[in-house]
A and B are shown apart, each in its own frame.
Chain A
C-alpha cells in the first residue's frame, strides 16, 4: 500500500472508530501477522481496526472499498487454516470488541449475539435457564461465534448435533460494498435462496458477519461418559463402527492414540491409561431412560472388542476430568514436539481403520511422527505432523507427509477439511476434491457478492483459479 493511501486510511479509520481502536505501529501490527496456523505463512496488515458496531464495520468496509484496499475479518485468531492472515495486506477488521449478547428468547429457543461473542459465552448466557449452544470446537473458550460461522466450526459433539451450519438461523452481514443485510431468519423457510447456508463456511470472503442468531437446545436430562481403552487403534475403530451399527448415535465418540495419551497424562492428569494403544471417549446424552438403555449396549460392544479398561464417570466432576484430557490436547502438543502442523480431514467412518493404518505407514515412510486425536464417530481425523524446524529438511518432510495424508483421505472418499476450513493452508488440495467446473460455480457466487475481489482475497481457491 502506498504511504499516502495508508495515511489517508488511518485518519479516516480513526474518525470512524476513534483513535484508540486503530493499530498502526509495526510492533503492534506484528501480533496480527498470523493466526493459529503453525506453518510458515505470515503477512502484515497495513492497519488493524477494532470496531464496536455493525455501523462502524459498514463504514470501514465502504471506506476500504472506496480506496480499493483489501479487508480481512478476524475474530480471536484461533483459526487453523490461515483464514485471518492478510496475505495482501490491507485493513484487518477485528471483531473482538463486539461481544454483546443482544437477545435470549427462550420461547423460540434462540440467542442473538454480536460476532465477537465467545462461543462458550452463548451457552453461559442460556445455561442458567437450562439451555445450551451445541457446536463445541476445541477452541470454544477463546474462539468467536463469527469465526465459527466463517469456518463452519464443528467439535466433538457434532456427531449427534451437527456443525455450526445446523445451528445458525440468521446473520447480519456487511457485504463487501458496505451494504448491511440479513441472511436467513428466525422465521423458517422464507422463500428465496439460502444465502445463510452459503455464507457459513465462506471464511470471510463474502462479507463480514457482525451479528449471529443461533438455535439453543434444552440441556439433556441425562449424560453418561465412558472412558474405554483398547489394545489397538483398529480394535477401537471396529468398536466405533459396531456402536453405530446398533443404531446408537452417541453425542461424542473421540479417539486418542497412545503417544497423545502419554503427553496428555503428563500435562492434564485426566486419568487416561497410558499402556493402551487407543483410548475412546464415548458420551451418551438424552433422556434418562434412553441413556440407561443404551449405556449397557455400548459397554457390551466395547467388551466384545476386547477393551482393556472401561470406566464410567460417576459424577459431573469425573466427567469434566475425562473431558479435560481430550480438550487439553492442543496444550499437550507442545510437550510432544517442538513444532507441529495440525491437520484436519474426514473419511467415511467405515474406512477409518484402513486410513489410520495408511497414515501410520506414511509417517514411517517420511520419517515423521504422526500422533492423532480425533472425532472417530464422524470420521474426522486430526493427524499431528511433528517436526523440529531447527533441523534442516524436517519442515519439508512433515509437509510432504501431510500432503500424502490428504491424498489418502480423498482416495478413501473423504474431504480435505471437516472443521478447520481451507484458508491459505489447503487451497491446492481443493483440486483433489473439486473439478475446475465445481470451483467455477463457487467463484460465480463470490463474484456476485464480491465483484471487486477485495474481501479476504486469495483465500480458499487455488492460486491460478482466482478470478
Chain B
C-alpha cells in the first residue's frame, strides 16, 4: 500500500483506517484501497479527493447488498461506513430516529426495542445489514406487507455528493411538503447519485403480539388466490409470502406454502386467526401455526446468496400475477436442474434461485425467465450469478422508457461518474 491514492487517504482518515482492498471484492473486482472515515467531514474530503482524481468510489456498509446490482465498471476506493455508526437523535414520543448510515440495523433495533418501538424494515440478512445499505438498495422483506418500504419509512437524509458537498433533504418530522423530496431520489439509487451519511426514520410501536401460520394443501395458484382474498378483506396481515415447492422445502408439510402472520393487540391477532381458519376451511386449504422461532428469518432471507454456485434472481409483476409468474418462471427455466421461487404477495415482488449443469444452461434459463416476466409487464434482475456467467447475461433486461432522464440525472449529480459507476442500469 504505497500508492499516492492510499497516502492521500491516510492523510485524511489516518493510516490505521486505510487498508487493503482485498476483502471488498465485488464480482472479481478488487479496489486499490479501502478507507474507513470517522466523520462526515472525512467522507466529504475522501469524495472531493476521488472526484479530483477521477477515482471510482463504492460505498460499503456490511457488503450484503453488493450482489443486488452489477459489479462496478471501475473500482478504486471502497468507502466503508462502519465507523459512522451512531444513533444521532432518538425521541420516542416523536416516533422518529436519526442514525448514521453505517449503523447496523440490528443494533438500531435493540436501541428502539427498549422503548417498545422498531423500524419496520426486515430486509434479507437484517442482522448484518447497515441502515445506509438497506436504504440505498430499497431492500425490504416480508413486513413490507404491513409497513411499506424504505420509500415510505425514510423521512429525511443527509448525503455527500460526488464533489464532497454535504446536503440535507426531507425533514426530521413525519409530515413534510417543502420543495422537492430528494429523499425519494436517493433512496434506492444504490449510491450512484450521492452517498448516505445519515437518515431520519419513521418508527412504529412494536406489536404486542404476533403469530404466524403456514397455509398449505393447495396448488400454488390456489394458495395465491386465497392470499389475495385475505388482502382484500378487513384482515391486516403483517406478512404474506408465497413459497413454491422448492422454496417451501424445510417447512413442515408438502407442496407450496403460504406464510401468513398477524401482529397487533392480542385480541385482534386471535380474532384474525379465527377468520383465517374459517376462510381456509371454506377454501379447502389447511392452516398450521408456525412454532419454529427461526421460520420468519428463513423466509425473509430466502434465497440467500448464490455464492458462485447457483444464480439468484429477483423480479416483479402485478400482485395478481404472483403465482402465474412463479409457475411461468419454472416452466421457462427448462434448462435448469432446479428452480426455487417466492413472492411477497402484497407487492408482487419475486425472488428465487436456479441451478444448471453448465453456464450455458444457466444463462438460457435466466433469459427465458426474463422473457416471460417481461411478457407479463414485469422485470427480472440477474445480478447475483456465478462468475463464469457474468457478462453473458444482461443484469437488468429491457431499459426503462425514462432511461434518458435517469442518465441525465446521473450526469447532473455525478458528472465524473465516480459514484458506483455502472452498477445500476449501467448508469
Q: Which of A106, A152, A244 interacts with B177 by CB under 8 Å?
A: A152
Give the residue of A375, A419, A448 whose beta carbon is less than 8 angstroms from that of B409: A448
Q: Are B405 and A448 in contact (CB under 8 A)?
A: yes
Query: Chain B residue with minimal CB distance to A421?
Result: B177
CA distance A191 to B167 in the complex (A): 24
Residues of A within 8 A of B180 (CB): 198, 201-202, 442, 445-446, 460
Q: Which residue of B lies closest to A426 (CB)?
A: B178
Is A289's CB under 8 angstroms from B179's CB?
no
User: Is B3's CB within 8 Å of the partner chain A?
Assistant: no
Shortest CB–CB separation between residue B386 and chain A, in angstroms? Answer: 21
Q: Please pick, from B95, B168, B264, B381, the residue contacting A435 in the complex, using a CB distance under 8 A.
A: B168
Cross-chain contact A435 with B167 (CB below 8 angstroms): yes
Is the Cβ of B91 less than 8 Å from the Cβ of A350?
Answer: yes
Tell me if A198 and B184 are in contact (CB < 8 A): yes
Q: Which of B152, B318, B402 contacts A192 (CB 8 A)?
A: B402
Tell whether, in the assembled complex, residue A418 and residue B205 are in contact, meaning their CB atoms are under 8 Å apart. Answer: no
Docked pose: A378 CA to B174 CA in angstroms = 6
Whether B328 is near chain A, meaning CB under 8 Å from some CB there, is no
Contact A294 B161, CB 8 Å, known A189-B138, A201-B181: no
What residues on A are CB-neighbors of B206 within 8 Å?
A: 247
Which residue of chain A has the shortest Cβ distance to B410 in the bound complex?
A193
What residue in chain B is nearest A190 (Cβ atoms)?
Answer: B379
Is there a chain A Cβ closer than 8 Å to B232's Cβ? yes
Contact with B along A430-467 (1 / 0, CB 8 A): 10011101111110111111000000000011000000
Min Cβ gap B188→A in Å is 6
The residue that B405 contacts in the complex, of A181, A190, A286, A440, with Cβ under 8 A, is A181
Q: Does B232 lie within 8 Å of A218, measured CB to CB?
A: yes
Is the Cβ of A197 less than 8 Å from the Cβ of B151? yes
The proximity string for B residues 159-200 relative to A, scoring 1 for CB distances below 8 Å and 0 otherwise, is 001000111110111111111111111011100010000000
Given A182-B401, A189-B316, A350-B91, are A417 and B172 also a contact pair (CB < 8 Å)?
no
Task: List A contacts of B167 (CB < 8 A).
Answer: 435, 437-438, 440-441
Indicate if B49 sits at the interface (CB-CB under 8 A). Answer: no
- The answer to whether B405 and A434 touch across the interface, beta carbons within 8 angstroms, is no
B349 touches A188 (CB 8 A): yes
Check: B396 CB closer than 8 A to any chain A CB. Answer: yes
Could you say which of B193, B205, B234 contacts A219, with CB atoms under 8 Å apart?
B234
For the complex formed, measure the closest distance between the CB of B379 and the CB atoms of chain A, giving whole angstroms: 6
Query: In this assembly, does A318 line the interface, its C-beta being within 8 Å of a C-beta of chain B?
Result: no
Partner among B172, B317, B347, B402 whose Cβ is within 8 Å of the Cβ of A348:
B172
> Chain A's nearest CB lies how many Å from the CB of B262?
9
Query: Which residue of B94, B231, B401, B412 has the most chain A CB atoms within 10 A of its CB atom?
Result: B94
Please name the residue on chain A nearest to B148 by beta carbon: A166
The answer to whether the Cβ of B261 comes within 8 Å of any Cβ in the partner chain is: no
For the complex, give the distance between the alpha carbons of A166 and B235 in Å. Answer: 20
A90 within 8 A of partner (CB): no
Determine the chain A residues whose CB is within 8 A of the CB of B250 once the complex forms. none
CA distance A302 to B174 in the complex (A): 24
B28 interface residue per 8 A CB criterion:
no
B138 / chain A contacts, CB cutoff of 8 Å: 189
| Cβ contact within 8 Å between B188 and A194 | yes
Bits for A307-350, please: 1 = Cβ < 8 Å to B, else 0: 00000000000000000000000000000000000001011111
Contact A417 B177, CB 8 Å, known A181-B402, A289-B271: yes
Asked if A107 and B177 make an inter-chain contact with CB atoms under 8 angstroms apart, the answer reads no
With known contacts A182-B402, A187-B316, A190-B316, A434–B94 Cβ distance under 8 A? no
User: For the complex, what is the distance from the CA of A290 to the CA of B262, rounded to whole Å?
Assistant: 12
A439 contact set on B, CB distance < 8 A: 179
Residue B92 is within 8 A (CB to CB) of chain A in the complex: yes
B396 touches A108 (CB 8 A): no
Most buried by B among A200, A249, A293: A293
**B182 with A380: CB separation less than 8 A:** no
Check B87 for interface membership: any CB of A closer than 8 A: no
Q: Which residues of A contact B271 (CB under 8 A)?
A: 287-289
Task: Please report the C-alpha to C-alpha distance between residue A460 and residue B177 in the assembled complex, in whole angstroms.
Answer: 11
Complexed CA–CA distance, A198 and B413 (Å):
15
Q: Which stretch from A41-49, A255-263, A275-283, A408-416 is at the chain B interface?
A: A408-416
Interface 9-mer from A96-104, A157-165, A264-272:
A157-165
| Interface membership of B297, Cβ < 8 A | no
Residues facing A in B402-427 (CB within 8 A) are: 402-403, 405-406, 408-409, 412-413, 424-425
Q: How far is the CA of A458 from the CA of B335 in the complex (A)?
A: 58
Q: Are A420 and B93 in contact (CB under 8 A)?
A: no
B233 within 8 Å of A (CB atoms): yes
CB of A63 within 8 Å of the partner chain = no
> Are B171's CB and A287's CB within 8 A?
no
* Contact call A245/B92, Cβ cutoff below 8 A: yes
Q: Closest approach, in angstroms, between the C-beta of A447 and any C-beta of chain B?
A: 7
Our pick among A165, A191, A414 for the contact of B184 (Cβ within 8 Å) is A165
Q: Is A109 an interface residue (CB 8 A)?
A: yes
List of A residues within 8 angstroms of B306 by Cβ: none
Q: Is A437 in contact with B234, judged by CB distance below 8 angstroms? A: no
Minimum C-beta distance from B163 to chain A (A): 10
Contacts of B409 in A (CB 8 A): 193, 445, 448
**Given A187-B378, A189-B138, A348-B96; A109-B231 close (CB under 8 Å):** yes
Closest Cβ of chain B to A270, distance in Å, is 25
Contacts of B148 in A (CB 8 A): 162, 166
Select one of B267, B268, B413, B424 contacting A191, CB under 8 A. Answer: B424
How far is the CB of B45 from the nearest CB of chain A, in Å? 16
Contacts of A218 in B (CB 8 A): 231-234
Pair B267/A188 contact, Cβ less than 8 Å: no
Q: Is B319 an interface residue (CB 8 A)?
A: yes
| Chain B contacts for A407, CB-based, 8 A | none
Known contacts A189-B316, A198-B184, A421-B177; decide if A287 and B234 are in contact (CB<8 Å).
yes
- Interface-central residue, B167, B176, B205, B320, by most chain A CB under 10 Å: B176
Contact A441-B182, Cβ < 8 Å, known A247-B116, A287-B271: yes
Question: Which residues of B are found within 8 Å of A416, using beta-carbon distances?
Answer: 178
List the A side residues contacting B400 at CB < 8 Å. Answer: 190-192
Give the docked Cα–Cα distance between A441 and B165 (Å). 10
Tell me whether A93 is interfacial, beta carbon within 8 Å.
Answer: no
Given contacts A418-B177, A448-B405, 18 further A-B contacts (CB under 8 A): A106-B232, A107-B320, A108-B318, A194-B151, A195-B406, A286-B236, A289-B265, A289-B271, A348-B96, A379-B173, A379-B174, A418-B173, A426-B178, A438-B167, A438-B168, A442-B180, A444-B412, A445-B182
A-B contact pairs, 6 of them (CB 8 A): A107-B320, A197-B183, A287-B235, A349-B93, A445-B180, A448-B409
Q: Which residues of A contact B (CB under 8 A)?
A: 105-109, 130, 151-154, 158, 162-163, 165-166, 181-183, 186-198, 200-202, 218-221, 241, 244-245, 247-249, 286-290, 292-294, 344, 346-350, 375, 378-380, 413-422, 426, 430, 433-435, 437-442, 444-449, 460-461
Which 3 residue pairs spanning A and B have beta carbons closest together? A197-B184, A247-B205, A221-B234
